[in-house]
Structure 1
């Protein structure tokens, strides 16, 4: 697996990288740590680009040494990357060039460190780059992924999506997947239930449980707090842009107003 970790060398980015290391502890991975010129706002703007790159690479290599000391998997490899492009352009370029399977970055959260740039752009990366993404909040501490919750509004290929979650290499074979159908009003509930019922009926895995909830309920502070107590990870489909927006937008997302501690895994087709 090839994993791209976006790092501005902040504590937020450091935590995301260390979380990814444990999340993928049993998986052979080539980790690429990407840093860009935009992150170095404290340096002389007149500094030549090659000097800025050299300084950045030294800092990234230090971070890589820290990660090497933490990993217990001999099949974990690391490489430092640097770009003078903006974050989205650089991420897209290396996602294609390095055949990236997963992007890892910090995510906006209540009380989020003001010194992070990466965490404020999670939603932009999600929206503009079609690649699986793991968003890790500053306060997230790794725990074994035994129960994940997968809220969705409507997905035509729900069975296929569930199979992708079941087969994602970072998840234990016994992980419990709680599929939560989100609906708006009674009329919409009837329509969605009819469509989803056919899809769900063909999903026979004993690891999959099915729940329903109104959108107003799932986005209440009390419900989100309960989700964080009961589950180890939130999974979303990248195409379910409304749910992604409500959770991951750095200014208007729910987790920008409450303390979010669960990692959010975004699955793309």
Structure 2
């Protein structure tokens, strides 16, 4: 059974992500944990309050949050409900990133799926600031769903990689299972001007080939220019339904996300974006 965590702020974007998750795993046994972190709602109102007032508000917010979570589930479970799916609500007195990360560790979550509004006014990033933080620090694959994306099976998946990062077998298995059940093509794209791989890169490429046995796997290269432009061109050319990348500190992944490191980034991803981790859990 897959364990899926859906953080929600009760927005339309979060609801859209939950509905997408149900469709993505429609024919698979899955347990969906729907989580809301409410610490900022408490401290935002009572930063200088007495301890008794804080404790009272914490309890009130917990009860209010649980009620709203159950109401949310009533709107998405459906009639009749999918017999393969279970739903649980999670209230968390913490900030969103720490709350998600702790729950991922506690329940050994397979995948986090969340909505994103896209560019925010006060952060120079492609995605919203919370999405960026969860991409970077949560030790679990994260799938971000653009707010206007209508569900379709990801028959073509673009996977840009330089073959330098060590891949985790569990993360690749998730990608392999997902792509395999839809009979998807996975295009491993290396953006380079060199013709040959180093021994380390060859080993990592072979590991990909040996691990991703269920989907149709393709190894391709593209010449170096603006990396974001190359990726957007390839998404359009291959009619990709999902973008997948590996996350590592000071990596190509971070270069793509922050405009300060890539001139005129202009990256507007309109398809689901899954970030896999190479961090130990």
| TM-score, structure 1 normalization | 0.79
In structure 1, what is the equivalent of residue 140 of structure 2? 131
Query: In structure 2, what is the Cα distance between the partners aligned to 1:49 and 1:211?
Result: 53
Of the two structures, which has the highest relative contact order with CA contacts closer than 8 Å and spacing of 6 or more? 1
Secondary structure class of the residue paired with 1:234: strand
Query: In structure 2, what is the Cα distance between the partners aligned to 1:214 and 1:254?
Result: 18
After superposition, the CA RMSD in angstroms is: 3.7
Name which of structure 1's ranges 31-40 and 50-59 shifts more when overlaid on structure 2: 31-40
Unaligned segments of structure 2, at least 5 residues: 47-52
Question: How has the CA–CA distance of structure 1 residues 249 and 86 changed in structure 2, closer, same or farther, with 3 Å as cutoff?
Answer: farther
Question: How has the CA–CA distance of structure 1 residues 254 and 100 changed in structure 2, closer, same or farther, with 3 Å as cutoff?
Answer: farther
Query: In structure 1, what is the Cα distance between the partners aligned to 2:264 and 2:6?
Result: 21
Are 1:148 and 1:233, in contact at CA under 8 Å, matched by a contact in 2?
Answer: yes
Question: How has the CA–CA distance of structure 1 residues 219 and 90 changed in structure 2, closer, same or farther, with 3 Å as cutoff?
Answer: same
Question: How has the CA–CA distance of structure 1 residues 198 and 215 changed in structure 2, closer, same or farther, with 3 Å as cutoff?
Answer: same
In structure 2, what is the equivalent of residue 84 of structure 1? 93
Query: In structure 2, what is the Cα distance between the partners aligned to 1:71 and 1:132?
Result: 30
Query: In structure 2, what is the Cα distance between the partners aligned to 1:149 and 1:210?
Result: 11
Please, which of 250, 254, 269 is the counterpart of residue 245 of structure 1?
Answer: 254
In the TM superposition, residue 71 of structure 1 has moved relative to its aligned partner by 8.4
Query: In structure 1, what is the Cα distance between the partners aligned to 2:29 and 2:132?
Result: 28
Cα shift readout 1:164-200 (whole Å, capped 9, x = no counterpart): 35533475252111000123xx4xx246466545654
Question: How has the CA–CA distance of structure 1 residues 199 and 94 changed in structure 2, closer, same or farther, with 3 Å as cutoff?
Answer: closer
Are 1:110 and 1:255, in contact at CA under 8 Å, matched by a contact in 2?
Answer: no
In structure 2, what is the equivalent of residue 28 of structure 1? 29
Are 2:227 and 2:256, in contact at CA under 8 Å, matched by a contact in 1?
Answer: no
Kindly indicate whether residue 265 of structure 2 is the aligned counterpart of residue 264 of structure 1.
no
Name which of structure 1's ranges 49-58 and 71-80 shifts more when overlaid on structure 2: 71-80
In structure 1, what is the equivalent of residue 49 of structure 2? none
Aligned ranges 1:134-145 → 2 under 5 Å: 134-145=143-154
Name which of structure 1's ranges 50-59 and 64-73 shifts more when overlaid on structure 2: 64-73
Aligned ranges 1:1-269 → 2 under 5 Å: 1-38=2-39, 40=41, 45=46, 48-69=57-78, 73-107=82-116, 109-110=118-119, 119-155=128-164, 164=173, 167-169=176-178, 171-172=180-181, 174-183=183-192, 186=193, 189-190=194-195, 192=197, 196-197=201-202, 200=205, 203=209, 207-220=216-229, 224=232, 227-228=235-236, 230-239=239-248, 242-248=251-257, 257-269=266-278
Question: How has the CA–CA distance of structure 1 residues 258 and 38 changed in structure 2, closer, same or farther, with 3 Å as cutoff?
Answer: farther
Query: In structure 1, what is the Cα distance between the partners aligned to 2:158 and 2:266?
Result: 21
Are 1:178 and 1:209, in contact at CA under 8 Å, matched by a contact in 2?
Answer: yes
Are 2:179 and 2:185, in contact at CA under 8 Å, matched by a contact in 1?
Answer: no
Query: In structure 2, what is the Cα distance between the partners aligned to 1:254 and 1:133?
Result: 26
In the TM superposition, residue 106 of structure 1 has moved relative to its aligned partner by 2.0
- Residues paired across the two proteins, number: 260
Query: In structure 2, what is the Cα distance between the partners aligned to 1:73 and 1:255?
Result: 45
Query: In structure 2, what is the Cα distance between the partners aligned to 1:71 and 1:218?
Result: 46
Secondary structure class of the residue paired with 2:88: strand
